[in-house]
Structure formats: structure tokens, C-alpha cells
């Protein structure tokens, strides 16, 4: 089932000036687990040295008390990863930690660097040896070769050479540094807990540890946090904000504030506007859990139809499972979702989800609901059709694998076997997030990219999608 969903990117967390920094970092990663489930890692600093633990799997699997006991210090950074660039191996897990002329430094990255391949090739020709296939390592090589005397100046020199989407947290022995790209593609927020300072991908991580939200790290801002306080720099040329709208569509947790907006309220607005734009003669609204729930609430409120949980999700399925030798129709969907016949039988159903990628999972879900006795199925999607791949940190398939790029809405409806199908319009999407022109990146729906893509798109997609012949 997951193969037919957009995959989460990564989540980052950092804390400075707290006696239990490693423990709070792990807790913060629990809150950000939805942003990446392949690997997790924590680095800590005690004023003299950095220590680091990394492991494959989810946070609950990655660290035990023995691991945490090796992490000492008043500052820490952490990362949960889904590998949008670089394959899924422990060597690519973050934080990445190096020692160079500037001292030790650890780095966590959420996003994708569109010029990573060109920079990497240039550095390799100059004699640099890379240990990972991650685009993040490029930043560290640029940092290590900098002739700047102060570490923060070396960081400025390195980050101003990369292009794309990046929210970075970096840790030295005595500093925590947060950097956000000038377009603000990926979220990064600032908070406090007592006298300590926190930076992280979403406010839900602040909530879990009892921290207070202060503000967003601004697009193009580099924030240095140390014993002297906070220093904010603007090393990048000014750029128009271009936040990733898919954070609101799918990635972020509903209980977070992202780009200053409540994710829950935005997604509910998607549903309200979807109901206005594409009403349906129906009896009940059913969300595809968990991604379609907020939009389904909005659709039900606007339409006056009841919302019922006609599909139940099994939240206890691990990342992998063994399918039976004997083929069971729709097994890989049914292991995670099961229809409730008493809700669906004889009903005209509005089925709400956040997106359709290839259409194969939607087709199986529609078949399950039909088999449970639904008389009609009207599928409603709370964003426009996805027609283009993303180069800014979302693991989207190639264009020719996106059903929205190769089929009309009616052709998609016919493929998924629903009685009707409708998407939220681009204008509705922008209205729901409260966007003015240019505030949000909508390249996945328009094919119009705010930052020039990689020179070799095929090589980029090989790296990002973990295809053969990777860079």
C-alpha cells in the first residue's frame, strides 16, 4: 500500500542548553516519526566533544537506554529519515558527523539539493572522498574545505553554494545552528523550554516535550545559538516565499502549525471547498484513514452529510510483512484497511482521500467498499491531480508513473472503478491555505518549478528514487 503513496521526507530536531538534551531529542523524534521511518539518529555535544548514535528503523527500534547513556551533553540534534536522496543504508542515516580543521560538526537535513550531483562531481574531481550516497554530505565537504576562520562563517560559505530545499540543524561542540533555504520550502520552527532553545520541523515536537512555540525560522535565515544568545544572519539573496503546499496536503501532522497555519484547519478547509466545488448525491462521507480524515470532516460539515468511519486502519502493522503464498485479492491493502459492512451496505458513499499517485491502491479500496455492499462510490480528492515530480524533498514517482499526468479525470475514474471522481481545484487549494500568488510551491500540480531543477534530471531521479546506477 505504501508504494502507492507519496513518502514522507525527513524530520529534524535540535535543542541547546538543557541538561537532558539527548532524552528530549529522542522524544522530539517520536513526535516527528511520521516524517521518516527508515532510520533515526541523535548527536549530542558536551562543550568538548560530540557523540552520535544512528540505527535503521523507527525511533522505538533504534535506541535503547544503553545507546542513550553514550550521549552526553547539554545540546543535541536528531533526525528521522525517509531517503528521498540516497539509498536506505545505515551509512546514509543522519546526523552525519565529521571532524575537520574547523572541529567536529554534526548535520541533519530535511529537503533535497537540486545541484548536489554537480557539486559532488566537482568535489570528487578535486580529490574529495564521499562515504555516503546522500546529497547532505555535499554540505559537509563544502564546510570542511572552507578557509573561513570561524565555524559559522564556514557554514555560511557552504550553504550559500547549494540550491534547492533545505532545513538544516547543525551541532558543534558549543553551538546549535539552524538554516532554512531562501524560499522556505521545508518548515522549521523555533521554541523554548525553560532556558533552553529548540528548533524542529513541526510544532508537534514542541508540544510533546512541553516547549513553547516562538516563531518560524524565516526563509533564508541562519540562526546561531550559543552561550552568548542568538544571532540571526541573512546570507542568501532575497527570494519570494515558496512553501511546499504538500506539507498541508499530506506530510505534516494535523496537530502542528506549519508555515504559521493550523494543519488541521487547512485540511478541513480543503474538504469544505471540495464539497462546494464537487457536491455528490450521497448518504455518508467516509475517509480513507488516516490521510483523508480532516478533509472528510470538512466535506461532511459543508455538505450536511454524516461522516462515518467506514474503513478501519490497522495501526499495528510493521514496516514489512510476509504475504501468504496463496494469493489473496487485495491483501496488501486489506492488511492495513478493512471495510465496515454495517456502515457501507446499501449506502451511497463519498470516499475522501488526500491524493492519488498511481491509482492502484485507490482501485483496490473502491473494490473493497463495493464488495462490502456500497450502492455508489463517489471519490473526492482534497488536492489537484499530481502531474509532475518534485525536486525539493518529496519522493514522487517519475512523471510517466503519475496517473494524473497521463490520464484524464474520467480515465482515472474508469481505472479506479468509482461512480464519480473529482479533485479540489488549484484555486480551491490556494484559498484553503490562505495563499497569495507565489506563497506556495505547487509545482507537483502545475509543472512550474520556482527553482531550476537538476541539470541531469534522470541522474537526480536515480538518486532520489533509489533506482539502479545511482550516483
Q: How far apart are CA 343 and CA 128, in angstroms?
A: 61
Check if the beta carbon of residue 377 is closer than 8 Å to that of residue 366: yes
Q: What is the DSSP string of 331-361?
A: HHHHTTEEE-HHHHTT-EEEEEES--SSSHH
DSSP-H helix ranges across 388-450: 403-406, 409-416, 426-433, 443-446
In the residue annotation, 294 being an active-site residue is answered as: no
Instruction: Tell me if residue 105 falls in helix, strand or coil.
Output: strand
Q: Which residue in the block uniquely carries the three cell numbers 522549521? A: 188
Provide the β-strand partners of residue 78: 13, 42
Cα–Cα separations (whole angstroms), residue 348 to 35, 49, 272, 282: 34, 63, 19, 5
Check if the beta carbon of residue 187 is closer than 8 Å to that of residue 202: yes
HEC-encoded secondary structure of 287-301? ECCCCCHHHHHHHHH
Instruction: Tell me if residue 264 falls in helix, strand or coil.
Output: helix
Q: Which residues contact 228 (CB under 8 A, 6 or more apart)?
A: none
Cα–Cα separations (whole angstroms), residue 291 to 257, 333, 441: 17, 15, 20
Pick from 45, 106, 47, 48: nearest CA to 79 = 106
Q: How far apart are CA 437 and CA 433, in angstroms?
A: 12
Provide the β-strand partners of residue 15: 76, 198
Q: How far apart are CA 337 and CA 197, in angstroms?
A: 40
Q: Which residues are catalytic?
A: 10
Amino acid at each position: 500500500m505504501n508504494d502507492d503513496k507519496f513518502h514522507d521526507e525527513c524530520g529534524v530536531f535540535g535543542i541547546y542548553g538543557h541538561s537532558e538534551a539527548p532524552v528530549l531529542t529522542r522524544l522530539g523524534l517520536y513526535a516527528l516519526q511520521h516524517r521518516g521511518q527508515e532510520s533515526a539518529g541523535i548527536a549530542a555535544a558536551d562543550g568538548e566533544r560530540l557523540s552520535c548514535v544512528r540505527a535503521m528503523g523507527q525511533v522505538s527500534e533504534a535506541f535503547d537506554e544503553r545507546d542513550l547513556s553514550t550521549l552526553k551533553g547539554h545540546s543535541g540534534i536528531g533526525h528521522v529519515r525517509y531517503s528521498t536522496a540516497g539509498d536506505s543504508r545505515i551509512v546514509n542515516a543522519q546526523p552525519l558527523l565529521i571532524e575537520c580543521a574547523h572541529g567536529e560538526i554534526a548535520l541533519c537535513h530535511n529537503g533535497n539539493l537540486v545541484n548536489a550531483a554537480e557539486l559532488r562531481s566537482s568535489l570528487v574531481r578535486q580529490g574529495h572522498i564521499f562515504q555516503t550516497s546522500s546529497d547532505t554530505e555535499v554540505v559537509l565537504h563544502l564546510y570542511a574545505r572552507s578557509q573561513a576562520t570561524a565555524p559559522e562563517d564556514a557554514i555560511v560559505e557552504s550553504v550559500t553554494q547549494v540550491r534547492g530545499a533545505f532545513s538544516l540543524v547543525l551541532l558543534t561542540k558549543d553551538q546549535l545552528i539552524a538554516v532554512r533555504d531562501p524560499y522556505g520550502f521545508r518548515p522549521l520552527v523555533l521554541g523554548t523550554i525553560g532556558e533552553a532553545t529548540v528548533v524542529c520541523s513541526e510544532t508537534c515536537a514542541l508540544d510533546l516535550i512541553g516547549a513553547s512555540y516562538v516563531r518560524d525560522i524565516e526563509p533564508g535565515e541562519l540562526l546561531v545559538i550559543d552561550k552568548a544568545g542568538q544571532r540571526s544572519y541573512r546570507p542568501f539573496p532575497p527570494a519570494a516565499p515558496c512553501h511546499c503546499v504538500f506539507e498541508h496536503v499530506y506530510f505534516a501532522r494535523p496537530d502542528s502549525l506549519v508555515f504559521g497555519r493550523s494543519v488541521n484547519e487547512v485540511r478541513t478547509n480543503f474538504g469544505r471547498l471540495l464539497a462546494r466545488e464537487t457536491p455528490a448525491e450521497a448518504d455518508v462521507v467516509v475517509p480513507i484513514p488516516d490521510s483523508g480524515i480532516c478533509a472528510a470532516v470538512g466535506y461532511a460539515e459543508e455538505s450536511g452529510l454524516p461522516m462515518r468511519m467506514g474503513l478501519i486502519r490497522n495501526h499495528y502493522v510493521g514496516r514489512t510483512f510476509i504475504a501468504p503464498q496463496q494469493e489473496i485479492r487485495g491483501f496488501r491493502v486489506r492488511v492495513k484497511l478493512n471495510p465496515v459492512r454495517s456502515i457501507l451496505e446499501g449506502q451511497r458513499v463519498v470516499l475522501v482521500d488526500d491524493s492519488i499517485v498511481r491509482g492502484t491502491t485507490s482501485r483496490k479500496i473502491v473494490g473493497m467498499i463495493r464488495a462490502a455492499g456500497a450502492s455508489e462510490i463517489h471519490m473526492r480528492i482534497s488536492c489537484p491531480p499530481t502531474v509532475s515530480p518534485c525536486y525539493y524533498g518529496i519522493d514522487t514517482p517519475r512523471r510517466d508513473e503519475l496517473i494524473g499526468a497521463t490520464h484524464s479525470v474520467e480515465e482515472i475514474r474508469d481505472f479506479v472503478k468509482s461512480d464519480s471522481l473529482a479533485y479540489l481545484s488549484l484555486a480551491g487549494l490556494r484559498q484553503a491555505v490562505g495563499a497569495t500568488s507565489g506563497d506556495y510551491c505547487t509545482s507537483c500540480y502545475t509543472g512550474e518549478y520556482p527553482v531550476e531543477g537538476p541539470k541531469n534530471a534522470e541522474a537526480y531521479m536515480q538518486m532520489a528514487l533509489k533506482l539502479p546506477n545511482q550516483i
